A and B are shown apart, each in its own frame.
Chain A
Amino acid sequence: MNEPMIQARSMMWVAKPLIGVALATTLAGCIELTAPERPIEINLNIAITQEVVVRLAQDVRELRETNPGAF
């Protein structure tokens, strides 16, 4: 009666180590990343001059009118 059950369990005993081996090989395939020696610098200080902003004032007001809902 219980034979198929027992068979399934014994299958698991065989399968478990196999899963372990499969996992180990997958992990072995991972690429190892090391941090670069010098930190990556991202410059957030974008130089924007008042002169340019003032010159664009009318243009941006027009953008608002031509793109309702976007600004």
Chain B
Amino acid sequence: MKGRTKIILAAAAALAAVGGGASYAATAIQARTADQLRATGLAGEQFNGYMGIVNDAPSDIRARVNSINITRRAAYTEVAGRRRVKIEDVGAAMACEIFATSILPGQYFMLSDGIWRQRQGNAPVPRPSYCG
């Protein structure tokens, strides 16, 4: 009995600790689409056309990002085959498109230097030179 009480108390303490970040977690759990994931600030867009994890994101966010990247990879592969270019080329072209249109103020992006940056206000997101 004593052991069980201890476990229950520990669980309650853990729940209380999580409670502090409840609103943050709620938005994160609901994030399913790429734009919703970008809005959480836990995931961002990379120059290679794939999403990445920005901070210490919870496992459900990681799983969603992975799933989206698998979909993207399949889409890039299909176009690459049809247009006779490399898969990386299609990814890069998509990154140019996403960087130009879909990263909102405060959201994260990563260029080839591997550093996550936040879009500052309405300033245009810097893009790799090959974006044209």
Contact = CB atoms under 8 A, between A and B. Distances in A.
A67 B71 CA distance: 8
A55 B131 contact: no
Which DSSP category, helix, strand, loop or mixed, fits chain B's interface?
A: helix
A57 B89 CA distance: 11
A71 B131 contact: no
Nearest to A52: B89
Contacts of A40: none
Which DSSP category, helix, strand, loop or mixed, fits chain A's interface?
A: helix
Given A53-B132, A63-B75, A44 B112 contact: yes
Contacts of B88: 46, 48
Name the interface size band of chain A. 20 to 34
A60 B76 CA distance: 8
Contacts of A60: 79, 90, 93-94, 96-97
Contact of B102 (A46, A52, A71): A71
Contact of A70 (B75, B93, B128, B132): B75
B85 interface: yes
Contacts of A52: 85, 89, 93
A68 B36 CA distance: 12
Q: Which of B33, B75, B88, B112 has the most CB of A within 10 A?
A: B75
A69 B32 contact: yes
Contact of B68 (A45, A55, A56, A70): A70
Interface of A: 44-46, 48-50, 52-57, 59-61, 63-64, 66-71
